[in-house]
Every structure is written in structure tokens, then in C-alpha cells.
A and B are shown apart, each in its own frame.
Chain A
Amino acid sequence: MRIRADLDLCQGHGACAGEAPEVFSVDERESRVVVLDASPPEALRAKVLAAVKYCPTRALRIVEE
């Protein structure tokens, strides 16, 4: 899976970083998401799905390869 972050939508709430800290972080200055691993291992799928689901601005998407 690949992760797409839509930076037009992201406000930097950090819900994703809470769900999957291995994959997401927040740039505090810019108030937006930093994707640490755009192609995370399958083992993290459940966490990434939760991050996508709980993003308050729906800025995250998973694209299957």
C-alpha cells in the first residue's frame, strides 16, 4: 500500500500520528502531516487504516499497488 496525504485538506490535528506513529508525524511549524513512511509494511495496515479513518479532515488515502 501507498499513502497519499492531501495537503490542501490537512490541518495538522495529529490524529494519524496518534494512531500510527511509525508512519505519521506532524510538522508543528506548518501544522501539517509528515508521512514518515509512504509505503509502510503490511504489518502496520490496521494502524494506517485507523489513521485514515480518524483523520478529522479526511486528508489521508491508501492507494493499493
Chain B
Amino acid sequence: MNRAIPRLSGGLPLLGHLLELRRDPIGLMQRCRDECGEVGELRLARQPLVMLYGEPAQEAFFRAPDEQLDQAAAYPFMKPVFGPGVVFDATPEQRKQALRNRSLRDQAMRGHAETIARETERMIAGWGDAGSVDLIDFFAELTIYTSSAALIGPEFREELGPQLVPIFKDLERGTDAIAYVNPSLPLPSFRKRDRARAQLVTFLQGIFERREREGRKAQDLFQVLRGIRNPDGSPRYDVNTITGMFISLMFAGHHTTSTTSSWALLELLRHPEWMKRVAEELDALYADGREVSHQALREIPQLESCFKETLRLHPPLILLMRKVAQPFRYGDFDVPVGATVGVSLAVSNRDPAVFREPERFDPTRYAPGREEDQHAFAWIPFGAGRHRCVGAAFAMMQVKAIFSILLRRYEFELAQPPASYRSDHSKMVVQLAQPSRVRYRRRAAEPAP
């Protein structure tokens, strides 16, 4: 039996629910669940978006093969950021090839952990005994260095400086959902996006060209990619394409990690009993003088639970989408080719059928015996299935390394009213709204280094 997909109320004649998506995306996605149930349709300009809710429907979404649900075509707002031939614009075969990139494999992680610890030390070297810092400015800069040093190479990282922070911010703020109407409307945010990308291309190409001219060969991703040849011996990737790949690599690990680090610190400050627990856990673990790069790859249970809870409550991506390339059926519902299907991480992560008291910050939900994150198709801050974030393990290791250093050196306190810290959801890339300042003070009894 076939049933018609329920349509969400509201929406404007031409724009559909687009303005509501830009104003209050989580509210919109929750409203669709409340009104329509497991399957509901809304509209982004002319594009129908069929939302799937609950573990079984989400599992069907995440298990569907690429040939049926296509990730590449679903994110029109990303294309002008990455440029042609990169990630969301790539064929399934190109994507598979990118996954073979070994830098995210297990064996490489130890080296990455050392890199991240070193970069964190460098960032706080000038902090002194006390002061204040804007969380997003701090973590955005730090994660530009860590992701470029670890994923691209240490030599490349040395070329980068704080001038990249506003460039990435403009790229991220250029992900306005109005791109569903047209990704090159003459809007200030799109103009800034395009200018930022052009600046980044010029900057990266300058590095690459200088390197090729001087004939220097570093052991890094640029050299690896330049070394890949077509059957006729010509280089497979030109500098422009590699530039796009680097933007996508750095982009993927940038706003996600910096936003999560910021929210994790804020949630610890809002829940002092957890800050105390985590600080004690870290002091005990590192009491024997072991290296951060060693411990960050191992279990730090209390801290990890706090990160999981931060990701559940503040997922840096709130909506995942696929374009239907072959007919997709779920239950009694047929979704036609050409429609988009979506899963809301923000709604799923607070599903009361899975999470007890879903609005509460409660890291004990991941403790042995409860393990609410074992619901692999409901606890989905990293997505699930084949397209689950390939950087998830890297990201967890990274935040463990950063916090192992920060929380043992410094104590923090909120510098603004607690309610003033909030996420800005007006763009598809979620960011902590600024200002987002905290104060720090060197701990009285700093643990032995």
C-alpha cells in the first residue's frame, strides 16, 4: 500500500519553508516531526525536502547506497565554497579514492596527537598568568593549524597565520540556505564568500608555485597528490584542483572542531561538578608525567562522555541531506527521483524515545550499562553509515589532546551572562555566536610538565 507523504503546513508560494529554515532551522525540523510524524515533506524554494525521523527511518537513510541516495547533489550551498571537482561535487569513485588517503588511518594517529599537543602549546605560550580570550577566535585559529599540520603537512602549516581566521569565517558564513534559490545571488555574504575563496586560492597557489619553482619536496599531501599520474604520464591533479581539496580538508575539520571545543568548555563551565570531575581525571591520568600524545589516543572516560554530550546537544551540523537518484521507498512511502531526503541530527540527538531527559546535560548516559550512544542511528552527531564523518576518530583524539593541556594549565570562568552564549543557526554551517569570551587564570598548583 502506498501512502501520500504528509506535507508540512506554512511555507511561502515561491520560497517554501526557506525563510523559516534560515530563521529557526531546528524549530522547523522539530515542527515537521511533530506535525507529520516519521516522514514529512517541506519545501526549500522549488526543492521538495522529505524529512525522515526516528531510528528505523534514519537507518534506511544511512544504509542506502550512493547510487540511490546521492550525497554530492544535495548541498548546493557548498559548491561555491569548495569549487569544481571537489568533495560534494565529486563522483562516488573520486570520493572513494579520497577515502584511501591514509592520513586518517589508525597508524597515523600517534603522529597527529603529537602535532596537536605541540600546536596547542604554541597557541597558549603567550597567555601569561591571567586574561581573557574569545573562544571562537582561539579555537578557530588553533584548528586551522592542527588540521593543516596533521592532514597536509608540517611545512605547509608554517606558511599559515592568523590572517586565515577571517577568511575561513567568511567561507563558513557564506553557506546561506538562500543558495537553494541561487548560490550566486548578489548578497553581501555570497560576495564575501567568493572573495574569501579567491584570497585562499591565491594564497595557496603562491605556496605551491614557490615550492615547485624552488624544486623543494616536502613529505606531505601536496607532494603525494602532485605525484599521482594519469596513464599517459601527465599529473592527475592540477594546482587549482589540489587547492580545492585542501580547502575542503581544512573546512571539514575546522568549524566542526572549533565549535565543539567551544561548547564543551562552556558546558563544563555551566556544570562545575563536571569540570571538577574532568580536571581530577586529567590530573590523575597525567600524574606520572606521561605524554599528552600517548593518552589522547587512549580512554579518558569522563572527558569523552562530556564531549559526547556536547556533540549531542550542540551538533555542528544539524541537517544531512541526499538527493534521490533512484526511487527510494521507506515503509509505505515512495520518495520520487529528484526529491531531497533529509535527517536532522539536532532533532534525532534529542529523541525522547532514545535519550532519557534529552534536554539535560548528563554525561552519565554514556556510562557502562546505559550507553545511549550505542544507538548508532539515533546518536548521530557524526552521521552514520558509509558517509559517517571519516574524521570522527581524529576529532575525538584532537579535542582530548587540546583539553588535556588547557584544563591542566588553566582554570576558566564565563566572562558573559550564561544565556548570552548561543549558536548562530542563520547559516547552514553552525557557529557559536560572537562575542564568546571566557576568562582564564593559571592554576595555582600546575601539574608537573
Contacts and interface: CB of A to CB of B under 8 A. Distances in A.
- Check if A and B associate: yes
A57 B99 contact: no
B63 A14 contact: no
A57 B377 CA distance: 11
Interface in B93-130: 96, 99-100, 104-107
Q: Main SS of the interface on chain A? A: loop
Given A9-B388, A57-B388, A58-B376, A15 B100 contact: no
A45 to B, nearest CB: 18
A14 B376 CA distance: 19
B341 to A, nearest CB: 17
B99 A8 contact: no
A14 B105 contact: yes
Contacts of A31: 96, 99-100
A14 B388 contact: no
Nearest to B100: A31
A11 B100 CA distance: 9
Contacts of A29: 100
Given A31-B96, A56-B393, A58-B376, A18 B386 contact: no
B386 A11 contact: yes
B392 A8 contact: no
B99 A11 contact: yes
Nearest to A29: B100
A58 B386 CA distance: 11
Interface in B383-410: 384-386, 388, 390, 392-393
Contact of B100 (A9, A18, A28, A58): A28
Given A8-B63, A28-B100, A58-B376, A14 B384 contact: no
Contact of B385 (A8, A14, A15, A18): A8
A13 B100 contact: no
Given A8-B386, A9-B386, A57-B388, A18 B106 contact: yes
B20 to A, nearest CB: 33
B151 to A, nearest CB: 15
Contacts of A18: 106-107
A17 B393 CA distance: 15
A13 to B, nearest CB: 6
A54 B107 CA distance: 14
Contact of B384 (A9, A13, A15): A9
Interface string A26-65: 0011010000000000000000000000001110000000
A14 B384 CA distance: 17
A29 B96 CA distance: 9
B106 A14 contact: yes
Nearest to B98: A31
A8 B64 CA distance: 8
B390 A11 contact: yes
B380 to A, nearest CB: 11
A41 B385 CA distance: 29
A31 B97 CA distance: 9
A15 B107 CA distance: 9
A41 B393 CA distance: 29
Contacts of B386: 8-9, 11
Given A31-B96, A31-B100, A15 B388 contact: no
A9 B384 CA distance: 7
B96 A56 contact: no
A32 to B, nearest CB: 9
Contacts of B385: 8-9, 57
A10 to B, nearest CB: 8
Contacts of A9: 376, 384-386, 388
Nearest to A16: B106
A64 to B, nearest CB: 18
5 contacts: A8-B62, A12-B99, A14-B105, A14-B107, A29-B100
Given A9-B388, A11-B99, 15 more contacts: A8-B63, A9-B376, A9-B384, A11-B388, A12-B99, A13-B106, A13-B393, A14-B105, A15-B106, A15-B393, A28-B100, A29-B100, A31-B99, A57-B384, A57-B388
Q: Which 4 A-B pairs have the closest CB atoms?
A: A56-B393, A8-B63, A58-B376, A18-B106
